[in-house]
Structure 1
């Protein structure tokens, strides 16, 4: 079941540019808490590397500004979590993402300028750490881009973000031999999803990238709100 969840989530991610963690992690947590966060992050990193290699030439070379924002965003979230329980953050942060999705649906189209990239990268690092919904800020920024540029740019960004997260887990002893064994078992399912994403990718590339980003971002936000309410 876990492999099927990974494969389906990877296929959707490979077609749109993000989504494997926001779709797979809630189900993986129900199946076995050992699947999260380490193995899920390794699966996401592997998929991002595959995608970045496939469409590498299409990514936005200004992306370094967004990657630069990851560190302060992560640090800010860690500081907030030191004084505010994580369960209390899911609802307000999820609603904040829903507001951004609603504005984007109403034709608000932010441009990926250097300041905007820095802000989006910071927001992504913050939301990923505080509420596990780090994808929407960057995805919404590139929602109007053509499919290959959207996927390539997000993939390179997620490679950097995943390496940061995985390194942090390893440093605190939460990514040891057992987690690596589970991670290795996930990789064939990730590869299968990547290969099977072709038909979905062609649909996205027919002008449906923006709706797909809005839907996935809304799903991520609603999921964060529901999860927070259930924990509470």
Structure 2
């Protein structure tokens, strides 16, 4: 994120942050009453529908209202299923590549911390989870270094389609997380 700091849009991210807070709170409450598997199925299906809409000629503009609702959806999804990227990625998919990277990184630095605090408060995040997370930290660090070195090789249109593929995979994985316990 540091290398893209000049491209951060705090005006746009402000609306997304404002949406993320109540979305995280809603997810925390939902997790007390609804199984994470049920939420994963519904949210995964929602992501796949959103990707389908994105493939049409519909273009969601990153207005403050759209960013607020993307932040809200990301709060629910990220806190309940750990897959909070698709709503923000879908709203920002047409942004310039450097702005897309900067704003997604800035949003997730804030929102991941918020989700971890909420999950800790509801008993869904423990010391074991923290240790496991630290154990796998080298992977995203190395991926960031690698991505920074090859970013000039990636065309904007490839980035958009890669985002849609990644969002689709996230939707399928979320649904799988929800359905797999029922099949076991």
Compute the TM-score of the two structures, normalised by the length of structure 2: 0.86
Counterparts of 2:96 and 2:176, CA distance in 1 = 32
Distance 1:91 1:202, change over 3 A: same
- Whether 1:165 aligns to 2:115 is yes
- Given that 2:24 and 2:114 are in contact with CA atoms closer than 8 Å, whether structure 1 keeps it comes out as no
| 8 Å Cα contact 2:19/2:68 also seen in 1 | yes
Could you report, residue by residue, the CA deviation over 1:119-148 in whole angstroms, capped at 9, with x for unpaired residues?
111010011123332100000000001110
Report how many aligned residue pairs link the two structures. 180
RMSD: 2.2
Q: How does 1:4-23 map to 2 (within 5 A)?
A: none
Task: Find the counterpart in structure 1 of residue 52 from structure 2.
Answer: 102
List alignment gaps of at least 5 residues for structure 2: none
Give the direction of change, closer, same or farther, for the CA distance of 1:181–1:98 in structure 2 (3 Å limit). Answer: closer
Kindly tell me: are residues 180 and 133 of structure 1, through their superposed partners in 2, closer, same or farther at Cα, counting changes over 3 Å? closer
1:149 is aligned to 2:96: no
CA distance in structure 1 between the aligned counterparts of 2:101 and 2:157, rounded to whole angstroms? 14
Change (3 A) 1:73 1:227: same
> 1:6 maps to which residue?
none
| Unpaired segments ≥5 residues, structure 1 | 1-51
Residue of structure 2 equivalent to 1:56: 5
